Structure 1
Amino acid sequence: MKDENGFTLVEMMIVMLVISVLLIITIPNVAKHNTNINNKGCEAYVKMVQAQVQSYMMDKNKVPTMAELVSADYLNVDTGCPNGTKVVSIDAEGKVTAVAKPTN
């Protein structure tokens, strides 16, 4: 027999076992933190919209609506929070809040 270098079936099975164990450990941890990640993204979006409202108020001397921010190019699109569960609203004083999206 020739002396051939390569992996045996047992070695390949051990590698697959190690990869599987790593995946089993990692996937639940990522899924567990998904809600926290979405909440942080929503908070960041609210702060960004608040900054754009203040900028609009300095330029135009009035409190804008979300539609006015989009039409005046202060925001690209009125999408709400990135996770899609909350809608951003602006009150009469210009304070931005995120409220739960109404169910239809």
Structure 2
Amino acid sequence: MKKRNEKGFTLIEMVIVLVIISVLLLVAVPSMVKNSSVAESKGCEATVDLVQAQTGAYHIEMGEQVTDLQDLVDEDFVDTLECPDGTPLNLVEGRVGIGDND
């Protein structure tokens, strides 16, 4: 009776692979979560810069300063007046900022 030569992974090899994958996930997941919050804050900064630039474009095209950010939406200069995280933008003394329009 000949013994068959079966090739495959042993239980120990499978456990070692699972441990390695688990360690890699433990290192990668917290890093991704941190990068997500950084990306959100950078996204908000970029949105503020974009809307500020569009206030300049509005002034050039319409010949008057923006007094209300809603004018930019009404005239199709921007699509939204919120950061990607939902924080509203405001206009104070001609500068676009982050926060409520109080």
- Shorter-chain-normalised TM-score: which range? 0.7 to 0.9
Percent of residue pairs bearing the same amino acid type:
35
**Structure 2 equivalent of residue 70 of structure 1:** 73
Question: Does residue 58 of structure 1 match 2:71?
Answer: no
Equivalent of residue 2 in structure 1, options 1, 4, 10:
4
- The equivalent residue for 1:30 is 32
Instruction: Identify which range, 61-70 or 27-36, moves more after superposition.
Output: 27-36
Partners of 1:34 and 1:100 lie apart in 2 by 24
The separation in 2 between residues aligned to 1:101 and 1:67, in whole angstroms, is 11
Separation in 2, partners of 1:15, 1:101: 54
Structure 2 gaps, min length 5: none
Q: Which residue in 2 is equivalent to 1:20?
A: 22
Unmatched tracts of structure 1, length 5 or more? none
How many residues of Structure 1 are paired with residues of Structure 2 in the alignment? 99
Q: Which has the larger radius of gyration?
A: 2
Residue aligning to 1:91:
92
Whether the 8 Å CA contact 2:90–2:100 is kept in 1: the answer is no
TM score, norm. by length of structure 1: 0.81
Q: CA deviation at 1:101?
A: 8.3
State the Cα RMSD in Å: 2.0
